[in-house]
Amino acid sequence: MALTRREALSQVAQVAAMASLPRDAWAFRAGDPLDGTIAEYQAGRRSGEWTATEVTARALERCRTDGAKWRAIDALAITAMDEARAADVRLHAGTSRGPLDGVPVFAKSIYDVAGLPTTGSSAEWAQLFPERVNRDALEVTRLRAAGAVVLGKTAADDFAYRGNGTSSHTGQVLNPHDPLGARTPGGSSAGSAVAVATGMAFAALGTDDGGSNRIPAQFAGVVGMKPTFGLVPRTGVIPTWPYLDTHGPLARSVADAALLLAAISGADLSDPLAKSDGWDPAPLAALANGLLRGVRLGIVEPHAPRTQMTAEALAMWDRALGDLRAAGATVEPFEAAVTRVNYRDQFAASARERNDVAVNANSPAPTANALLRYFAGRTSDPRAMIRRGYAVYQKFYDVLPATFEACEPLLDQPMGDDSAGRSFARSRAGVVAALAASMRAAGVTAMVYPTMPFNAPRAVDPWPDVRTPLGFGNWLGLPEVSVPAGRGTDGLPSLNVSFVTLPGDDGRALALAHAYETQSRRFVKP
């Protein structure tokens, strides 16, 4: 496959950075290389301790045993071993494609992966569309171009719609930290988080419309990222809400998440809402330590609901704040112009001030058009495919008209031309500007808050009625990195800390999260 000039330049930068990748002293070393970092794995490959072929075979073995046990796997690719062998050949020939070359990774069940059916984790959808697709989603294409070994796809909530890890196709994904098998791993990117936490892969792709990467990151005890909205084009993935949906990495370390983001990010015209301005991913390949010193971090009171947190979660949060201060950061309350309490009102007020139509983040027309664009990449008759699966999909994305016939007029309306969506995008720009002004006035570089103010409930139980800022981040399109803060007395991950910056400042969010991670060293493998 021919590479674009942007992809070729990105790979040159990644190759140059590969030699300087640090072997983090805190990471697990003693056992299987799958339990360490990408940098350690690549160092072991270069020194001849192991090969990509050997480690990929071990990863697939874990998928067939642990993956089945935790119900984390949607489907395994038959091409993984061939990709691993090719990576070893490139390493020996001195033509490695960069830090992801030979690295086992996963995609989520709603991604197209050539040679596998796209089930969407839905039993009905899997029956309606049993055929293997003949293309990769754009992110998967970019991972393969970077040399990654695509192991297959992970289980999720049906159509990535909820946050519990409940798939009608493969069953309830289980939390590997819970020996009783009762706790949820969160969702919807449940299988991706579990696969990473248990060392089936180094990193995995996930999606996030309202917390679907960040919730399982905390409940499974790994790093999860929601990048700036539009930074990662979403072509070749079953669509959700086009004005909210954000794709990003899950990994065991911030540095590994950064490597995955560097590979999958960047403009592409196939996604009409993706960012089209310049983006240089090369700096993400080598995050520095110590970047918290002298940084001012803001705590927005409604985003850290101390009175609603359990005593254990509160103690974990206070310990995390202590770790940040020990690393040299100033952490103090911050009166943000926009919070989880008022952001919806501010979007609406902004539209009224412009005499614009009401905003709608879930407007049906963009989702309908996204569904047409998705199937247009798979078949010569996308409407027939949509008609076949419409009733199943519409049960989840029920803002769409009740029937295919009623929806058909919306299919050809470009998602960027929807009046409610355009109004939403204009309000987003104004609301983000107000937040940015308040951060500048207070000298705040980033905001921090508990990703979730409670740890994983039982999968069958209702969740605590505690509001979080997760949707706030999606509406504003803010980059956010969620990092483990430690385990509770029950042995389960108790809290993650989220580092949140302004749109486009993804590198800073990752750098701050990496500095906290190296200071706190809180990741624990199940």
Task: Give me the catalytic one of 10, 122, 167, 212.
Answer: 212
- CA triple 287-289-291, angle to 5 deg: 95
Could you confirm whether 108 is annotated as catalytic?
yes
**12 φ, ψ to 5°?**
-60, -45
CB neighbour list of residue 260: distance below 8 Å, 6 or more residues apart: 100, 105, 143, 203, 205, 249, 251
Report DSSP state, residue 458. Answer: B
Q: Whole-angstrom Cα distance, residue 113 to residue 121? A: 14
Q: How far is CA 402 from the centre of its chain?
A: 30
Pairing of strands 171-172, 296-299: unpaired
Could you confirm whether 188 is annotated as catalytic?
yes
Q: How far is CA 96 from the centre of its chain?
A: 26
Q: Whole-angstrom Cα distance, residue 397 to residue 414? A: 18
Task: Give me the catalytic one of 10, 108, 423, 494.
Answer: 108
Question: Dihedral sign, CA of 463, 499, 240, 121?
Answer: negative
Site of tokens 């500048």 = 440
Beta bridge partners of 333: 299
Beta bridge partners of 150: 105
Q: Whole-angstrom Cα distance, residue 185 to residue 16? A: 37
Q: Whole-angstrom Cα distance, residue 314 to residue 372? A: 46
Site of tokens 């706190």 = 520
Inter-residue contact 488 to 455 (CB < 8 Å): yes
Number of other CB atoms surrounding residue 181 within 10 Å: 13
Question: Dihedral sign, CA of 7, 13, 19, 24?
Answer: negative
Could you confirm whether 212 is annotated as catalytic?
yes
Task: Give me the catalytic one of 96, 109, 121, 188.
Answer: 188
Which active-site residues does the annotation give? 108, 188, 212
